[in-house]
Amino acid sequence: MLFDKKLASFAAGLRTEYNIPMEVRLWNGQTYRLGEEPRVTLHVPKAAALGYLVNPDLLKLGEAYVEGHIHVDGRLQDAFEAGTRLARGTATTRRFFDIKRIAGHSKVRDKKAIEYHYDVSNEFYQLFLDSNMVYSCAYFRDAGDSLDTAQEQKLDHILNKLMVKPGDRFLDIGCGWGAMIVRAAKKYGARAVGVTLSERQFEYGRELIAREGLQDRCEIRLQDYRDIPGTACYDKISSVGMFEHVGLKNLQLYFSRINELLAPGGLAMNHGLTSVDPESSSVGLGVGEFIDRYVFPDGELPHVSLALRQIEAAGLEPVDVESLRRHYARTCTLWGERLENAKERAIELAGERRYRIWAIYLIGCAHAFAHNWINIYQILCAKKSEGTDSPLPMTRDYMYRS
């Protein structure tokens, strides 16, 4: 009885001060509303699971959901938003940014991290990605653009910024399932090479190139960026969703290698996630810890100012910077909805635990981008030269050609 009174008093306090749109239903049937109009119900099947609700952050709540210690009735988007309010409401002194963690980034460790995230199964990713299997921020010219349209627009947006033309030697670092290199070769006439550390992506990309009949102009390799051979051997280089895995300490090495690979007059595009904290700390409330533990081991996000500093230090000139934060919020929302709609098949392919990780991760990312917890920038770079000549036009108009 005393326990019930304390819990009721705690719930009433949260309802009065924070109006969290959630109700909590215990194993004994007791229900406590944390807001006037709950949109989601949190089921606590055992008394031991109550510990996850004591001074919770999003790591504890995420862990409880992923491991099956709590269950959710309602839309995951509503559950995440309610969980965020709960985490803020029960720990007002918690920092919004975590002190950055510096991870080791050996070739072996980086390969294992990539395999953990990407080598689930290609069919699993096909459940929520577009038809070209592009696992990065789409580009919406119109709010009603389909995911397929927006992803093709993103590929073209990057290739247009890079001014890719027939005969260009094009490199895509962290090429995913091969959509960028196929697009560069098929539509723009480039001789394209892509590298990935994921064996599943490599196999899929090789089959895609063969299906498209592009073996003479397109190649995918299972290769670390540090092992790409040659110097000054590519006219254009793209890197999409890759430098998040490089590590803060290795940023200058990474951009220096791009500079070495780039031919005189060449252009490079880095499209990557960034911290919104000038100190390059990770998102707080337990978000950074959840992602590191369950989704992207060893991932580290630099602030855009640090990325620009290291680009300059590596000998490249940043010539254009564009935030696509709102585009990624929309992308992740669509991914999350598609995966949730394919829940049964996703569980068949990857198991319920893996489904829960990806489902809450995608919904959480949509929330994070929408609320400016993290950002994403396209940084176009030119290889520095002593002369005044530049490969770029005087205005940005060329980037928006159809």
| Rounded Cα gap, residues 107 and 280, in angstroms | 23
**Side-chain-facing half-sphere of 299: CA atoms under 13 Å:** 24
The C-alpha R_g of the chain, in whole angstroms, comes to 23
Q: Give the whole-angstrom CA distance, residue 34 versus residue 266.
A: 57
* Chain Cα centroid distance, residue 343: 20
Best CA proximity match to 170, nearest among 154, 186, 153: 186
As a whole number of Å, the end-to-end CA separation of the chain is: 69
H or E segment to which residue 25 belongs: strand 22-26
Q: How far apart are CA 282 and CA 98, in angstroms?
A: 5
- Which of 175, 332, 365, 381 is catalytic? The answer is 365
Whose tokens are 């093709």? That residue is 152
Let me know if 332 is a catalytic residue.
no
Q: What's 211-237 look like in SS3? A: HHCCCCCEEEEECCHHHCCCCCCEEEE
Which among 326, 308, 324, 316 is positioned nearest to 377, based on CA atoms? 324
Instruction: Calculate the alpha carbon distances from 400 to 153, 171, 272, 304, 395 in Å.
Output: 10, 22, 21, 24, 11
Amino acid at 206: R
Residue with tokens 């007059």: 265
Token representation of residue 111: 């390969």
What is the helix, strand, coil percentage profile of the chain, to 5? 45, 20, 35
Please give the positions annotated as active site: 365
